[in-house]
Structure 1
Amino acid sequence: MAFLNPIFLLGAMAAAIPVLVHLVRRTRAARMEFASLMFLRRIEQKTIRKRTIRNLLLLAMRCAALLLLAVAFSRPYFTSQNPLAAGADQSSSVILLDASYSMRYPGVFDRAREAAREIVNRAAAEERIALVLFGRGYEILMPLKASRAEALALLDQAGPGLDATDYLQAVGAADALLKDSGPGQKRIYLISDFQSSGWNRAAPPVKISPGVELIPRDASAPDTANLAIVDVEADPVVYTQKYAGKVVAHVANFSPDAIEDRAVDLKLNDLVVERRQIRLDPFASKLIEFSGFNITEGSNRATVEISGDQFALDNKFHFTVRRDDQTRTLAIETASRGRSQTFFLQHALAAGENSQYALSVKTAGAVNPTEIDSYKTIIVNDSTGISDGLARSIASFVERGGGLIV
């Protein structure tokens, strides 16, 4: 037998407390002188013996309770007769399997899964194993238990996700699983491609408990050349047939080799409308611009795509561009000499190359009441000079859902 907390055995000395209390508080007969004993009640000797025996049993029970309490706090356990078998039975291992986005690189997760299977197959029959998938967070697929068959089945079902990587929180979770695993060898197997972005240097450090061994297993690919479309900026809605703005694609080279003459395509509805050839230095990035192409009416599926890369998941960036009609707007003003009353309004609504508004400026006398319905919004800059007939037409226009700004 051994004890997890042998220091608590010192509490067994507390068993002497009831004995001391019994000795201190033991009743002593007081000696008194009497002229005659004829008036005192006689007590049989056997009654005194019974009371003495009962008090001794109570004392023993109190001592035993304190002894058992001290032993319970020391957490005893039975060891195996075979030291080698005992060490194997009490071993605990946590397998941390990286399931982040970078593990989708061809062959990487397969190597990681095979490394985990090898660890499970080499484990002793009674060794406790936990299986944890991690990315930005973590998922405990199997808590600590001696079940190699279940661990192998779960590994067959596991796959990489789309999250980033956070090694510190994964190691902290594994250490927490091992804290209550009892005595014996404790190991954390960290299986990953060890991307540098997974080490959060701003986070507080994670300290592994004493006696826990951290064993890294590298599953990265020997050649990790990768081009990626990191981001795309584009106007989601345009109001002219020709795309007046710019589609800006951020292309990055994550490999140690320079990229020569790669094509970057802009596709609308699966058709290539623009193509750029680029060159990128090792670990460099570049902004690629597309403009001047035609947009069909309605919603358009758009894609920026780069070719010639083994890791194809980040070679495309999808977005949508919708072409809408401009909002026809009528501004009514009073005829005047010099600068128009709607001069500043006209320039404000026409600002930029992708203006939503098509503004027409007319005097009250030049407005034909029958053409009002062709506009969505009417701006009355000055109500002077508006005839009763035009006023009634504008009121009817508003009643039918048209917009009016006075």
Structure 2
Amino acid sequence: MSFLQPLFLLLGVGAAVPLVLHLMRRRIHAKVDFPAVQYLARAERENIRQIRMRNMLLMVLRILAIVALALAAARPLGAFFGAGHVPTAMAIVLDNSLSTSAVVNGQPLLATLRASAKEAAEAATSSDRLWLVTANGEVVGGSRETVLEAIEKTDAIAGRGDLATAVTRAAGLVSGAGLGAQQVVIVTDGQATSWNAPITVGGVGVTVLAPVLAVPANHAVVQAEARPARWTPNGSVVARTSGSDSATYRVALGTTRLASGTLVLAAISCVLRALRLEWDAVYDASIAEFAALQAAAVAA
């Protein structure tokens, strides 16, 4: 048994409140004899056992209600004590778009997402069917161990993902499995660029796991152009960047650094003059061939 939101289990502490109130009501105060109401005391003694049973039952029901609320808020995955589990078809949609490569708290955001996806997969039992669907359309199905291995090997792609298509495909997989329960678990960083179309899941249950992290400000190279169009050793690269603050940049051809520096203004156009290289031959290549030479403008 595992929980998607284990902190909500702290609500279970509130189960002690009905017990405390019950014990406070049992406190015996000083007795005062009042002959006019002796017959009422006699009637109470005759029914004291029923009254105590009723109060005890009410206390137990209140405690169970608070515990059930805490468990529901914690969103459990799996079966309680191995019993009562309905065979489930579960598809885990893992967001591996470019934005998940951002480093947050000393590690790539994708590592955090992989950990959440593994936790969801580990809750599956041998009677369940399991799939992994990534944002770039890869699908892996099979045993829990197979899916866990696929999660570990998932890397960020060089662009935005298509989570809408991935979720729709995941819903189709679990719907066609023919099991008693269907569940789609979406593990994502919540970037809006990955949600580019409406999502259709039918009657499939959907759970979204998005980490609450302080994501650093975005920086991006939104345009890079080689000039002249037919590249020569004396050419230049014109790059346009986008960001909310300053950012460092580096331009490299293969393993050779051509230029680097810091952009102070957001969405600024800058011309990065390539350094003259000692080449054995003059390359006369098109833009596509230039890309094949692994020339890239990299925003650090």
Instruction: Give the C-alpha shift of residue 155 in structure 1.
Output: 2.4
Q: Is 1:249 matched up with 2:236?
A: no
| Residue 177 of structure 1, CA deviation | 0.7
Do residues 223 (structure 1) and 215 (structure 2) align?
A: yes
Q: Encode CA deviations 1:335-392: one digit per residue, 9 max, x unaligned.
A: xxxxxxxxxxxxxxxxxxxxxxxxxxxxxxxxxxxxxxxxxxxxxxxxxxxxxxxxxx
Give the equivalent residue in structure 1 for 2:34: none
TM-score (norm 1): 0.43
RCO comparison, higher one (Cα < 8 Å, 6+): 2
Q: Does 1:287 align with 2:288?
A: no
Give 2:200's aligned residue. Answer: 207
| Per-residue deviation, 1:288 | 0.5
Q: Are residue 149 (structure 1) and residue 141 (structure 2) matched? A: no
Q: How does 1:83-102 map to 2 (within 5 A)?
A: 88-102=85-99
Letter in 2 for 1:90: P
- Deviation, 1:93, is 1.1
Q: Give the deviation of 1:173 after TM superposition.
A: 0.3
Classify the secondary structure of the residue corresponding to 2:93.
strand
- Aligned 8 A contact 2:241 2:267 in 1: yes
Give the distance between the partners of 1:157 and 1:187, measured in 2 at CA.
23
What is the distance in 1 between the residues matched to 2:125 and 2:153? 23
- Output one character per residue of 1:59-93: Cα deviation in whole Å (capped at 9) or x when no partner: xxxxxxxxxxxxxxxxxxxxxxxxx9886242221
Change (3 A) 1:266 1:165: closer
Counterpart amino acid of 1:224? Answer: P
Letter matched to residue 127 of structure 1 = D
CA contact (8 A) 1:249 1:304 kept: no
Amino acid corresponding to residue 206 of structure 2 in structure 1: L
Q: In the alignment, is the contact (CA less than 8 A) between 1:251 and 1:286 conserved in 2?
A: yes
Compute the displacement of 1:175 (Å). 1.2
C-alpha distance after superposition, 1:243-296 (max 9, x if no partner) = 5x864211221xxx522xx55566678365x6665312xxx4111024697676
| Pair 1:228–1:207, CA change in 2 (3 A) | closer
2:123 paired residue number: 122
The offset of 1:157, in angstroms, is: 2.8
Provide the alpha-carbon RMSD of the alignment.
3.5
In the TM superposition, residue 112 of structure 1 has moved relative to its aligned partner by 1.2
Query: Counterpart of 1:207 in structure 2: which amino acid?
Result: T
Question: Structure 2: how far apart are the matches of 1:299 and 1:221?
Answer: 49
Q: Distance in 1 between matches of 2:216 and 2:194?
A: 16
Check if 1:190 corresponds to 2:190.
Answer: no
Give % identity.
Answer: 22
2:42 maps to what in 1?
none
Contact 2:172 2:201 in 1 (8 A): no
Secondary structure of the residue aligned to 1:103 is helix
Which residue in 2 is equivalent to 1:399?
A: none
| Structure 2 residue 290 is matched with structure 1 residue 315 | no
Q: Secondary structure at the match of 1:188?
A: strand
* Contact persistence 2:250–2:299 (CA under 8 A): no
Counterparts in 2 of 1:264 and 1:129: CA distance versus 1, 3 Å:
closer
The reply to whether residue 258 of structure 1 matches residue 257 of structure 2 is: no
Contact 2:97/2:194 (CA < 8 Å) preserved in 1?
no
Q: Which amino acid aligns with 1:227?
A: H
What is the SS of the residue equivalent to 1:96? strand
Task: Find the aligned partners of 1:117 and 1:292 in 2 and give their Cα distance.
Answer: 45
In structure 1, what is the Cα distance between the partners aligned to 2:163 and 2:118? 21
Q: Is 1:89–1:124's contact at 8 Å kept on the other side of the alignment? A: no
TM-score (normalizing by structure 2): 0.56
Matched with 1:270 is 256
Give, in whole Å, the separation in 1 of the partners of 2:154 and 2:132.
Answer: 10
User: What residue ranges of structure 1 are gaps of 5+ in the alignment?
Assistant: 1-83, 306-313, 317-406
Q: CA contact under 8 A between 2:89 and 2:130: conserved in structure 1?
A: yes
Instruction: Tell me what 2:39 maps to.
Output: none
Which residues of 2 match residues 63-78 of structure 1 at below 5 A? none
Q: CA deviation at 1:188?
A: 0.5
Q: Counterparts of 2:92 and 2:213 in 1: how far apart (Å)? A: 20
Q: How far did 1:235 drift?
A: 1.0
**Quick one: structure 1 residues 133 and 279, their matched pair in 2 at CA, closer, same or farther if it must change by over 3 Å?**
same
Structure 2 letter corresponding to 1:270: T
Aligned partners of 1:87 and 1:184 also within 8 Å: no
Distance 1:279 1:166 in 2: 32
Are the equivalent residues in 2 in contact too, given 1:229–1:304 (CA < 8 A)? no
Given that 1:100 and 1:134 are in contact with CA atoms closer than 8 Å, whether structure 2 keeps it comes out as: yes
1:169 and 2:169 are equivalent in the alignment: no
Higher helix proportion: 2
- Report what 2:8 is aligned to: none
2:138 pairs with 1:139: yes
CA distance in 1, matches of 2:272, 2:139: 46
- Structure 1 distance, partners of 2:231, 2:162, is 40
**Preserved contact between residue 189 and residue 216 of structure 1 (Cα < 8 Å):** yes
Count the aligned residue pairs: 204
